[in-house]
Chain A
């Protein structure tokens, strides 16, 4: 620990007070003069906008996987369970590996933007993006549905459901075929 000495108080002498006041005032005025000529830090929003860093925690988006032709989200509800304020709700379609979501609703009025859902997701399905201008004139604008959140909008949602249904159908077909070809114990063909 260090003990610093503050300047001691002296008896009030009006003349010294005035002179010292003027001198320190001029000293401070040098600082303000210098700042008068420095570049200004104003960003003239909304005509200019500052770019946000890559990790910025703005509006959420559901990642679209181009190779698989579907959203990454499988509806495991890990994010909904990780959320402190019950923001997320979803409707899962299919089951197993090829499941997906047909509805993914986030009530952002309750959201803390705390990033816990993003950290909880094991499938790289949900991220927080750079959008921060979320103000609206309507009360129900807080509720973001899957079309607002998915990368690619309505189109992506539709394609996602198609792909998931297709994958589910393929799986259904593969199962009875496997049952037919599997050797039955005891019977010979």
Chain B
């Protein structure tokens, strides 16, 4: 045992590699749980049961679906741009794994300790945008192209207010490292207590909904309008990778919000890792609750809302936070 620990202390890069592999598996496994919860919550809201057949209370349903997707025929449309078509799902997946690397699940449980973690996360989230664009363009399909372009417009527009609201937290805690932000909250109380951070949290949640393409911002994958948008032509495991990346991103964005606003792994009685998961799943439940209530916005309404409202308000909020925070 000691020898193994010493071995990894000599080769820290190898240890990071092991952690990366674990996180990649986690990114593949967590969508199974999140999708199951989504389907159950959706069913219960809609007066029906959701999956009940496969496994106790339907818990193996997503496993069965993943197996089915693995066994499907790999169809590449004729005339598709093969390089981008093949690569797009992997880029989306890798961006989520990279984001998980810097997320602290518990004190000391970080794959990669970075003192500019927030900046890193924002940068990596742009991989998602690129992969959607690649998927939409390379499918050789008008619907996918329309869906991809709309998705890119929406994602880029909502990055700006999201970054500005995250900056509010950075101003308050004075550090860009996620571990540092959580430690600050352990000492000074959760960030959400301060009014500018409250406004920033509301803006962040709206932008998070748009970043992960959830109703009311889910026009890029609206089934009734564009038959599934940018991933129309993807089948089998490639589609599963897109799907897994989207739901893992779901988990990550809420975990990021928990770390920034609600204290991460901070909490009284239970062990810290449990607190992370509790906070994440409560927020995921709220996201799902929001998803199944309102209709979706049109793309021009989405963009208008982002640029005419969210960007000015988040800028003003940042100034407000700086004015309050400068002691």
Residues of chain A at the chain B interface (Cβ within 8 Å): 14-15, 17-18, 24-25, 28-29, 31-33, 35-36, 38, 40-42, 44
Instruction: Output the least CB separation between A12 and chain B (Å).
Output: 8
- Out of A17, A24, A38, A44, name the residue touching B47 (CB < 8 Å): A38
Q: Is the interface of A mostly helix, strand, loop or mixed?
A: helix
The smallest beta-carbon distance between B157 and chain A, in angstroms, is: 14
Contact A17–B305 (Cβ < 8 Å):
yes
| Closest residue on chain B to residue A37 by CB atoms | B44
Q: Do B293 and A40 touch across chains, with their CB atoms under 8 A apart?
A: no
One of B41, B48, B308, B309 near A40 (C-beta < 8 A): B48
Kindly state the interface size class of chain B when it binds its partner. Answer: 10 to 19
CB pair A35–B47 under 8 Å, yes or no, is yes
Q: What 8 A-B pairs are tightest by C-beta distance, nearest first?
A: A14-B309, A42-B49, A28-B293, A42-B48, A14-B308, A32-B45, A32-B293, A36-B44
- Whether B49 contacts A36 by the Cβ 8 Å rule is no
CB A61 to nearest CB in B, in angstroms, measures 33
CB <8 Å contact, B47 and A40: yes
CA distance A28 to B44 in the complex (A): 16
Residue B119 interfacial (CB < 8 Å)? no
How many whole Å from A65's CB to the nearest CB in chain B?
Answer: 45
CB distance from A152 to the nearest CB of B (A): 37
Taking a contact as CB atoms under 8 Å apart, the answer to whether A40 and B44 are in contact is: yes
* Contacting pair A35 B46 (CB below 8 A): yes
- List of A residues within 8 angstroms of B294 by Cβ: 24-25, 28
Q: How far is the CA of A89 from the CA of B177 in the complex (A)?
A: 84
Contacts of A14 in B (CB 8 A): 304-305, 308-309
Cα A17 to Cα B304 with chains together (Å)? 11
Complex-state Cα separation, A32 to B289, whole angstroms: 8
Count of A-B contacts judged by CB separation below 8 Å: 42
Partner-A contacts on B (CB < 8 A): 41, 43-49, 52, 289-290, 292-294, 304-305, 308-309
Enumerate 12 A-B pairs (CB-CB under 8 Å) in ascending A order: A24-B294, A28-B294, A29-B289, A29-B290, A31-B293, A32-B45, A32-B289, A35-B47, A40-B43, A40-B44, A41-B47, A41-B48
B46 CB contacts on chain A under 8 angstroms: 35
Closest CB-CB distance, A38 to chain B, in whole Å?
6
9 extra interface residue pairs, beta carbon distance < 8 Å, beyond A17-B305, A44-B49: A14-B305, A15-B309, A18-B305, A24-B294, A25-B293, A28-B293, A40-B49, A42-B48, A42-B49
Given contacts A14-B305, A18-B305, A44-B52, contact A32 B47 (CB under 8 A): no
Measured between beta carbons, the chain B residues less than 8 angstroms from A17 are: 305, 309
Contacts of A44 in B (CB 8 A): 49, 52
Cα A36 to Cα B45 with chains together (Å) = 4
CB closest chain-B residue, reference A38: B47
Compute how far the CA of A14 lies from the CA of B48 in the bound complex, rounded to whole angstroms: 37
CB pair A33–B289 under 8 Å, yes or no, is: yes
| From B45, B304, B308, B309, contact of A35 by CB (8 A) | B45
Inside 8 A of A24's CB, which chain B residues have their CB?
A: 294
Q: How far is the CB of B72 from chain A (nearest CB, A)?
A: 25
A33 vs B285: C-alpha distance in the bound complex, in angstroms? 11
Closest to B46 in A: A35
Contacts of B52 in A (CB 8 A): 44
The smallest C-beta distance from B47 to any residue of chain A, in angstroms, reads 5
Chain A: minimal CB distance from B42 (Å): 10
B48 neighbours in A (Cβ, 8 Å): 40-42
Distance between B21 CB and nearest chain A CB, rounded to angstroms: 38
B309 touches A29 (CB 8 A): no
Residue of chain A at shortest CB distance from B289? A29
CA distance A16 to B41 in the complex (A): 31
Closest Cβ of chain B to A33, distance in Å, is: 7
Q: Distance in Å from the Cβ of A112 to the closest Cβ of chain B?
A: 31
Complex Cα–Cα for A42 and B304 (A): 41
Contact A25 B309 (CB under 8 A): no
Chain B residues whose C-beta falls within 8 Å of the C-beta of A36 in the assembled complex:
41, 44-45
Q: How far is the CA of A104 from the CA of B267 in the complex (A)?
A: 78
